[in-house]
Structure 1
């Protein structure tokens, strides 16, 4: 039962992924250029690079539960900023000559991204404290399944809640705020016994970054950096592919279809992955998931819309468990350095801010389909890591 409030925190962790669908929503609402709209994921993911290591060190002193509740509080503050500025669901006409409201949303996303960063730093290792012996990998994978539900809400609420009720997509803010407040109260009232290694020393910036001198740790941190960059490239690129190559209107069906092709398979894959990991070694599962993802990207280039859509589904299924597998495999190797490793690996999520512009550059100078070679290259590196894991671990 102690894992239940942590799973709810994982749901809230997924709210940070709202920047994906929000790019097209904000671009339409505020009549933005593509460059301006892309400031949303930049603001959301840049905090992972800035805060993860300091928060990992802070967690070493204050505890995982303290940091988890802090992350929920910071995210909540971000969500109430647009609410207090009139963006909570009612349809309003924004002044096209002013970007003031958009800048307010950027500020909100900055706080939401900071909160999501803190939740990632604390949520992944605290899952180990509430998991029975030998169940950490499977519980973490299931937690990522719950997170995928939170990620999906940004695609589904505008289509299935806001539109039928005659509301604007900004109804996301109060819905997210209520759920985060519930998670905060539940985690705060739950007693969690945090596992500590009596032989470990307090973490410092030096001890944290010194871990990067370990080739194995550096390789795994880089795998997280490239994986998140590949996932954000896919989540933002699939709607563009659906629209530009296959002529499907984003306003009518695009967001929901993009969710169905990519995020729903991620959800299913993580749900299944939690059970598979009860019987299959994590390193074997990691190799399998990366290969499935690469096969999916290859299918996207075969010229058929049907094959491309099936390929996207396979990519989603493959992507589903890469993050929790890389994370848990690394933590299980050096559990006494879990806070420092967590900080390093979560800081690598900044790949979600830095890899997509490369995707965009390639797509702009060729076409949208060729842009998917960027996440493919990221996957090839992760495949190399997964195949050499046995030698380096």
Structure 2
């Protein structure tokens, strides 16, 4: 089976749209400065963007088992589109309206994750699922990158601000949805012999291997969101960057590294096994985080940020695809559990913020070090 780019095209666009949900990360430092929020309160901003991952992922995984992955993917695009159009119609009149918009956008991103990761297996050649999932995450990284890049360009060249993101994102999501609607995708059916249920999901979670891998997703996403939200504060704290004018360069550089790493990961996985690559990439991430502490200049700081991004880049698709490939007959339930674990993006940044308030900002980065350290240790775990 060769790649069918007509069928895989809208799936890659869906991954691009997933990245739009990560806009809560780059917005956090901007809102923290504007509203004079504590680190703990700023962590709650990301909570709105990620809470639905914890509430909807498993139920939508069960719906997907019955209605199909394409159905859930389209529903996610419609929900995200509603969230993007809402503040435009309301002329960004209130912070409450914006929070409601981010909640809908996060809901759409949840559904796209639930359906997008397993449906990529349906359009991938045999043995190339990990590779294509890394390429999909590369497209997601482009969407994530835009949350930091577009506001910088808007302010510098067009006299606009972050509000520009909403109409731009809305147009792209609409195009992706229409494209997907007209493309026929043959979905692979589970061979378990029984439909997915809450009972089967809970039974899977009792499996130590599945539990450890789901926890890895929880900690990874929490670490990634913490990085995207707090790297501007790092540059301000350590190198006196103005957080409004230059701070977003930290997040931008991080997402550039993610995008680069995911593209390279898609190439490397043509000849390296996913399990070996997971060991290497998590070790690289640990080295990068350690670099934040030893950096004595802004240049060294940016090098550390780039190394972190390269290391982080392929952790999610590797953990996800390794688990799915181990139990393909339960892909819908595993997808629901894995995407539920993305709620780590709501929980871990709050813990980071609390540690930073009690001790110091640099102490907060120890939280991310522990998260990635766990995944590095897990990469040596042998499934029985």
Q: Kindly indicate whether the alpha-carbon contact (under 8 Å) linking 2:289 and 2:304 is maintained by their aligned counterparts in 1.
A: yes
Q: Provide the secondary structure at the position in 1 that maps to 2:246.
A: helix
Q: How far off is 1:214 after superposition?
A: 0.5
Residue in 1 aligned with 2:105? Answer: 112
* Separation of aligned partners in 1, 2:304 and 2:42: 27
User: Does the CA-based 8 Å contact 1:45-1:350 persist in structure 2?
Assistant: yes
- The alignment yields a C-alpha RMSD, in angstroms, of 1.4
Q: 1:162 touches 1:171 (CA, 8 Å); kept in 2?
A: no
Secondary structure at the counterpart of residue 253 of structure 1? coil
Matched, 1:164 2:168: no
Provide the C-alpha distance between the structure 1 equivalents of 2:347 and 2:248, rounded to a whole number of angstroms. Answer: 23
Unaligned runs of 5+ in 2: none
CA distance in 2, matches of 1:298, 1:168: 33
How far off its partner does 1:300 sit? 1.6
Q: CA offsets, 1:198-236, max 9 Å, x none?
A: 443110011111101100000000000011111111111
Question: In structure 1, which of residues 65, 84, 94 is the aligned counterpart of residue 70 of structure 2?
Answer: 65
1:255-276: per-residue Cα shift (whole Å, max 9, x none)? 134311x111111000000000
* TM-fit CA distance, 1:307: 3.2
How far the C-alpha of 1:6 sits from its partner, in A, is 0.6
Q: What does residue 33 of structure 1 align with?
A: 37
The alpha carbon displacement at 1:27 in A equals: 4.0
Alignment of 1:253-272 (within 5 A): 253-260=246-253, 262-272=254-264
Q: Does structure 2 conserve the Cα–Cα contact (< 8 Å) formed by 1:242 and 1:258?
A: no
Q: Which residue of 1 aligns with 2:28?
A: 23
Distance 1:217 1:266 in 2: 26
Q: Map of 1:328-347 to 2, 5 A cutoff? A: 328-347=321-340
5 Å matches for 1:377-388? 377-388=370-381
Answer whether contact 2:229 2:251 (CA < 8 A) is retained. no
Q: Does 1:279 align with 2:271?
A: yes
Q: Which whole-Å CA distance do the structure 1 matches of 2:255 and 2:295 have between them?
A: 23
Q: Deviation digits for residues 159-212 of structure 1, max 9, x if unmatched?
A: 113542222321111111000000000011100000113443110011111101
Q: Deviations over 1:106-130 (max 9, x none)?
A: 0000000000000000000000011
Relative to 1, partners in 2 of residues 1:159 and 1:303: Cα closer, same or farther, differing over 3 Å? closer
Distance in 2, matches of 1:205 and 1:271, equals: 36
List runs of 5+ in structure 1 lacking aligned partners: 88-99
8 Å CA contact retained: 2:130, 2:321: yes
| 2:380 aligned counterpart, secondary structure | helix
- Report the alpha carbon displacement of residue 295 of structure 1 after superposing the two structures with TM: 1.0
1:136 equivalenced with 2:134 (yes/no): no
User: Hey, what's the Cα distance between the residues in 2 that align with 1:317 and 1:199?
Assistant: 37
Equivalent residues of 1:200, 1:337 under 8 A apart: no
Q: Select which of 376, 381, 386 maps to 2:369.
A: 376
Q: TM-score, normalization: structure 2?
A: 0.95
Name the stretch that deviates more: 190-199 or 329-338: 190-199
- 2:48 and 2:340 map into 1 onto residues whose CA distance is 14
Which of 274, 293, 301 is equivalent to 2:293?
301
1:102 maps to which residue? 95
The 2-side partners of 1:32 and 1:242 are apart by: 18
CA distance in 2, matches of 1:258, 1:119: 23
* 1:82 corresponds to: 87
Count of matched residue positions in the alignment of Structure 1 and Structure 2: 377
Which residue number corresponds to residue 9 of structure 2?
4
Q: 1:48 aligns with which of 45, 53, 56?
A: 53
CA deviation map 1:137-176 (0-9, x unaligned)? 1000000000000001110111113542222321111111
Q: CA 1:193–1:373 in 2, change beyond 3 Å: closer, same or farther? A: same
* 2:322 matches 1:322: no
Take 1:271 and 1:58, find their aligned partners in 2: how far apart are those partners? 32
Q: CA deviation at 1:25?
A: 2.9
- Determine helix, strand or coil for the equivalent of 2:91: coil
